[in-house]
Structure 1
Amino acid sequence: MTMPVMEPNLDAATLKAWARAVDGGPFSSLCWGERMCFDNPHSLTLLGALAAWTDRVRLVTTVIVPQLHDPVMLAKALATGDVISGGRLTVGLGVGGRDEDYRAAGADPATQTMRGMAERVAVMKRVWAGEKVTDAVLPVGPPPVQHGGPQLLVGTIGPKTVRSAAAWAEGLAGTTLDLDAERENALFDVARTAWAEAGKPKPHLATSFWFALGDGDEPRDQVHRHLRRYMNWIPAEYVDAMAPTTGWAGTDDQLIDVLRRFEAIGADEVHLIPTSSNIDQVRHVADVITEFA
């Protein structure tokens, strides 16, 4: 389950209640994403809070854009989060799709590439391995609880990105807009092949989609409202055109059916992305998915 970090008017009580509800439910992971030019919480600050508010679920960034950060500072922050969470951190990384975020962070748009991301991953892995990245007396710490650092996933929807990430990632943190399981399975096959060719164990395969649960037209309307707000860098008429087929909206039984489709293609996880901060949604989903626990 993903935190409702892209919803308006969030406060500490709402975020804490969601974290506690997810940790107490049948969910395997608690996820959240990163943006700069938006009013979502700062991802690394939120990591510390989520680590303190939860005890069981894995904490998964979906995704952090390393090019928006100094890689040594990012490695230190993530290692700290791994320590506070007791080794429950998984780090999804992506290049990001918004130039405005790069400009706001003072980052170089020329680094908005897989190569730019891989270069920063290499620095972070050196930090987590305890290597000195400067001539300082001591290396940058703290050492992460997980040997070699947190599990790394690549956030992607394209095969080229998957192939290039096989050298450093342990799996995928993908996204499906139209819930086409066959197309997602084709991407999973690219990953399976790339990981095998790299001599690595089979990749962790995760995908995600926006959701709204309920009867009638309201769930689809809820997804539409969310997309209008979240995709504010895209002309509204384009968002309106894609909204009827983007994400998922439906009933309890229909949610089970769609999750079964992704289970059938070998997905290890589906990261559900809420389109409302109403905590009744996460409690409702928790009741629906108990058969997967």
Structure 2
Amino acid sequence: MRIGIGLPNQVRNLTPSIIPRWAARAEDAGFSTLATTGRYAYPGVIDTVALAAAAGATTTIGLLSAVLLAPTWPGALLAKEIAGIDGISGGRLTLGVGVGSRDDEFTVPGHGLAGRGTRMESDLATDRDIWGGKPVGNGPSPAVPSGTRQVPLLFGGYSAPTWCAGARVISAARCHRP
């Protein structure tokens, strides 16, 4: 049996230096996975920072974002951050993504609830391109080091935009949006 544990990154007003110690203790205790949850509009530590801290403090335990609200981020920036965290961890990261459902999570101008499923589909394609070493924008350089792997994806959510984005990434399936 494999049992994971959540990082306390979204405990209200957490002292951030607890995160790497928590991660190391969870690994020592034999847990299989450390998971985060992410919310911008909450006094905690953002999930990518918590995952990076856990990656640096551990060597074997799996890492999981459960779930990161992908459409709230600029796509290329998130792809680069995730690739970096995965590289630091030695390939132990699984990127769990969802589309979000609260207006207060969307802090990037132009990134609101409307169109989030379509945006996530586009961003996931950007992730794959960036992780595959394709040049960024109009320049000749990739955003990540050569040898960066395609980070495994896990889709979480209860809305049609989540399921449709996941279905298209996995199988290029068509999905009806109500």
Pairwise TM-score range, normalised by the shorter structure? 0.7 to 0.9
Q: Which residue identity is paired with 2:118?
A: R
Residues 113/134 of structure 1: CA separation in 2 closer, same or farther (3 Å cut): closer
Match of 2:78 in 1: 74
Find the partner of 2:138 among 135, 140, 145. 135
**Greater per-residue helix proportion:** 1
Identity of aligned residues (%): 27
SS at match of 1:106: coil
SS at match of 1:75: helix
Find the partner of 1:65 among 45, 64, 69. 69
Q: Pick the structure with greater CA Rg.
A: 1
Match of 2:176 in 1: none
Find the partner of 1:95 among 86, 93, 99. 99
Q: In 2, distance between residues paired with 1:141 and 1:50?
A: 21
> What's the CA shift for 1:119?
1.0
Does residue 156 of structure 2 align to residue 155 of structure 1?
yes
For the aligned residues, what is the CA RMSD?
A: 2.3
Q: In 1, distance between residues paired with 2:45 and 2:68?
A: 13
Find the partner of 1:105 among 101, 105, 108. 108
Match of 1:30 in 2: 34
TM-score normalized with structure 2 length: 0.83
CA contact (8 A) 1:111 1:117 kept: no
SS at match of 1:105: coil
> What's the CA shift for 1:46?
2.2
Structure 2 spans left out of the alignment, 5+ residues: 174-178
> What's the CA shift for 1:165?
1.1
Deviations 1:135-167 (A, max 9, x none): 212121134643xx2101111135774354133
Match of 2:44 in 1: 40
Q: In 2, distance between residues paired with 1:51 and 1:161?
A: 27
Q: Give the 5 Å matches for 1:163-174.
A: 164-169=165-170
Residues 49/117 of structure 1: CA separation in 2 closer, same or farther (3 Å cut): same
Deviations 1:32-86 (A, max 9, x none): 0111111111222222211101111111011112222111111111111111000
Deviations 1:150-209 (A, max 9, x none): 10111113577435413325xxxxxxxxxxxxxxxxxxxxxxxxx7x96xxxxxxxxxxx
TM-score normalized with structure 1 length: 0.52
Does residue 122 of structure 2 align to residue 119 of structure 1?
yes
Q: In 1, distance between residues paired with 2:37 and 2:20?
A: 16
> What's the CA shift for 1:93?
0.7
Q: Which residue identity is paired with 1:94?
A: G
Figure out how many residues of one structure are paired with residues of the other and give that number.
169
Deviations 1:11-41 (A, max 9, x none): 1442222111211223221100111111111
Q: In 1, distance between residues paired with 2:113 and 2:161?
A: 18
Q: In 1, distance between residues paired with 2:162 and 2:50?
A: 27
Match of 2:18 in 1: 14
Structure 1 spans left out of the alignment, 5+ residues: 170-194, 199-293
Q: Which residue identity is paired with 1:121?
A: L
Match of 1:51 in 2: 55
CA contact (8 A) 1:67 1:107 kept: no
Q: In 1, distance between residues paired with 2:98 and 2:7?
A: 18
SS at match of 1:157: coil
SS at match of 1:127: helix
SS at match of 2:125: helix
CA contact (8 A) 1:67 1:111 kept: no
Deviations 1:79-112 (A, max 9, x none): 111110001111011111111111x333421545
